[in-house]
A and B are shown apart, each in its own frame.
Chain A
Amino acid sequence: MLKKRQSFLVLSLVVLLVATFGMVASAQRQVTLKIGLPGSYDVTSKDIIDQFIAEHPHINVEIQEAPWGDFTSKIATQIAGNTMPDVWFQENAVILGYGERGVAQDLAAYIERDLDTDEYIDGLFSARTPDGKVWGVPHGINPVALAYNKTVFEEAGVPFPTDDWTYADLIEAAKQLTVVEGEEPVRFGFIGAYAITNGWFPWIKQAGGSALDETKTKSMFDDPRTIAGLKQLRQGIEEGYFTNVDFVRAHGGDLEVFASGKAAMHFMQYSLQVNMQNNYPDVDWDVVKMPKAVNGERYVPMVANSWLISSRASQASKDAAWEFLKFYLGNDAQNIVAASGSTLPVKLSAYEVIEASGTKPLNKAAYTDGIAEGGVTLDENATWNEWRLLVQQQVNESVVHGKITVEEAAAEIHKKVQEVLDEN
């Protein structure tokens, strides 16, 4: 009886010890990963997060989600208070600023160790600095293509645009497509957008100019080619074959004007196809690649949102965060990104999903081949947010409202942008 009791006691002790050590070992392996999702699951597919959680049981994922504006307001305070997530994404230019301020982890070594960069488009390195640091990897890429309203072209008897078009062809077609009744324009050839991505930036690039030089330390707004590009955009608005801001605002915005046939062409970002599908499913439209520049090259402006890993996270959390980013850049997640249509993935294999898609625009190769041929970032650097605002102020004054000449605006921009670049 006593022996039995002793055996039972020993057995119980062994079980208890095994269970305790097992729990300790398990707890050591477990790591918590805080993922920040601006725009919540409207911007990042929930399927990706769910799959990651299912495939990584040792990582406890905590999601911090909020509408985009709220998230970006909150994150600065979180960083200041050291309570930010371990991994989150924001606009690529913001990530570059974070990198310079020591908030973001350099991912160059991780990428070199774990990724075959031949499997990705060049946009993978959107957050790379001239000295080789990589502050983030893309959440998605949003390039621009020339969208055209087929019905308007057919009614006007103007041939559809092609991938061989130059900006001169675009201007010529815009003139032919513009209709004025009395003094009132009822249809414009092209939407004279004035924001950076689909407005002034492609116009200065096509003229052979740029915002900054290759080192991103010198303003190029004194370059006659940059000024010429801005002047062409202003001329189109002034002479009435590009929309003006009053018309677009009064008629519901760029997409409404394009979809309703009040403008025939538009430099449309890839993500807007989702709005077009949801809000204007019956409109007959498609896209071609961005027109060629004066030097025969093609420049396709693209904006990226990029994931970053907090430099202040623990090593275990950094490793878990990189595990997440590797998963995000893997086949399954990239296929989900591709299927969403809201942004372009960066992995080449996922482009098969896009090519197989039957939704409008049918010629999605205008985007995918477009960035392969001439994808360019918006001259982003750590001070992009600051100098971009200065440029936009003057573009509004000159190109949009005609209150000052383009030359005056360019001189002012050049002086101020250079001050910002020198200061930093």
Chain B
Amino acid sequence: MHKQRYWGYVFTFPFIINVLVFLLFPIVFSAYISFTKYDLFNAPKWIGLTNWINILNKREFWLSMRNVSMFALIFVPLQTSFAFLVAFMLNQAALKAKSLFRLFYFLPVITPWLAAGVVWSWMFNYQYGVLNWFLGLVGIDPVNWLYSRSWVVVIASIALVNVWKGLGQSMVILLAGMQNVPHEVLESAQIDGASSRQLLTHIVFPIVTPMVYLVMILSTISAFQTFDVFLGLFGGITTGISEQSMVPNIMIYRDAFLLFKLGPASATAWLLFFVILAITLFQQYFEKRWVHYD
């Protein structure tokens, strides 16, 4: 028994080292440098709470938190509900060419943001974009999707693109959950006269709530950590993403790797972590009220 335990430690040693060096150390080190002035090239210099105070006094930080909160508020419900509906439709036994449809919905997931960003920025083009052309056909004035004076319009437009891109991934998770719904249950409900809507709301949804919850948690975290979609649509940090459209992760990247201000970047990253943690705990608090594991 004692010998077995010894070998257990030996075999897990590489993984413990991996966790210590590549997970624990960076976390602790980033916490440390958030209290320092550090430019990557010279030794960190302790400056106490200065970085934290500066970030909390910075208008750009609060605008970025506002943007990312609105982004999550639009993106998470839309993504989850659309993914649920698409998964439900693709799970219908009568549907032909299921694989083709699944591929079709999953295609945006594997499209690089660089390409997707260019295509969507063309579609969003105020004067020549296809979206405004459609609006023009039905007599609606063009919308300045990405450069509107209203920040809500800008964030909502970007959130919609993110839904298009991420729908496939959430759909796959939910579809896997739906495929585990016992056929006998569905058949007996149908024999008892349940309509498709009743099947969806009273049978399928309660059974897949753990998956829906998972999708919501993952979508919320990814929304608060959004980066690529903003970069793709605005064309890069150096071309000047406006303060009104800023998000925390772009601030962190810019401060750390363009301006070599590792202290403020780390402080922002930790603040973002606390926000995500709080929201995840909030979601977890309500989990038992609507998620069914039995």
Contacts and interface: CB of A to CB of B under 8 A. Distances in A.
13 contacts: A76-B40, A79-B40, A80-B41, A98-B41, A101-B41, A103-B41, A244-B127, A246-B125, A246-B126, A246-B128, A250-B129, A393-B242, A403-B149
A247 B127 contact: yes
B149 A80 contact: no
B127 A101 contact: no
Interface in B223-275: 237-244, 254, 257-260
B122 interface: yes
Given A102-B42, A389-B254, A403-B147, A250 B128 contact: yes
A397 interface: yes
B157 interface: no
Nearest to A391: B240
Contacts of A79: 40-41
Interface of A: 73, 76-77, 79-80, 97-98, 101-103, 195, 244, 246-247, 249-250, 385-386, 389, 392-393, 395-397, 401, 403
B42 A397 contact: no
Given A101-B41, A250-B122, A401 B260 contact: no
B55 to A, nearest CB: 14
A397 B242 contact: yes
A186 B147 CA distance: 23
A226 to B, nearest CB: 18
Given A79-B41, A195-B239, A393-B241, 15 more contacts: A76-B40, A76-B257, A79-B40, A101-B260, A103-B41, A246-B126, A246-B127, A247-B128, A250-B128, A250-B129, A389-B254, A392-B239, A397-B244, A401-B144, A403-B147
Contacts of A76: 40, 257, 260
A249 B260 contact: no
Interface of B: 39-42, 121-122, 125-129, 144, 147, 149, 237-244, 254, 257-260
Contact of B259 (A249, A250, A386): A386
Q: Is the interface of B mostly helix, strand, loop or mixed?
A: loop
A385 B260 CA distance: 10
A79 B126 CA distance: 43
B115 to A, nearest CB: 15
A392 B238 CA distance: 8
A244 B239 CA distance: 16
Contacts, number: 59
Contacts of A392: 238-240
Contacts of A403: 147, 149
Nearest to A82: B41
Nearest to B38: A80
B240 A393 contact: yes
Contacts of B237: 389
A403 B126 CA distance: 14
A385 B127 contact: no
B188 to A, nearest CB: 57
Given A102-B42, A396-B242, A250 B260 contact: no
Contacts of A393: 240-243
Contact of B240 (A98, A246, A395): A395
A101 B39 CA distance: 8
Contacts of B121: 249
Contacts of A246: 125-128
A393 B128 CA distance: 23
Contact of A396 (B40, B126, B240): B240
A152 B47 CA distance: 60
Contacts of B125: 246, 249-250
Nearest to A73: B257
Nearest to A84: B41
A73 B239 CA distance: 17
A395 B243 CA distance: 12
A246 B254 CA distance: 26
B292 to A, nearest CB: 46
Contacts of B126: 246
A173 to B, nearest CB: 24
Contacts of A77: 40
A250 B144 CA distance: 15
A76 B257 CA distance: 8
A386 B40 CA distance: 16
Select the residue from B39, B122, B254 with max chain A CB neighbours within 10 A. B39
A73 B256 CA distance: 11
Contacts of A385: 258-259
Kindly list the 5 A-B residue pairs having the minimum CB-CB distance in the complex, ordered from nearest.
A392-B240, A250-B128, A246-B127, A80-B40, A401-B147
Given A79-B41, A389-B238, A250 B257 contact: no
A385 to B, nearest CB: 6
B256 to A, nearest CB: 9
A177 B147 CA distance: 29
A248 to B, nearest CB: 10
Contacts of B244: 397
Given A76-B260, A385-B258, A393-B243, A249 B122 contact: yes
Nearest to B128: A250
Given A101-B41, A250-B122, A389 B240 contact: yes
Contacts of B243: 393
Contacts of A401: 144, 147
Select the residue from A101, A103, A250, A393 with max chain B CB neighbours within 10 A. A393
A98 B41 CA distance: 9
Contacts of A195: 239
B144 to A, nearest CB: 8
B127 A102 contact: no
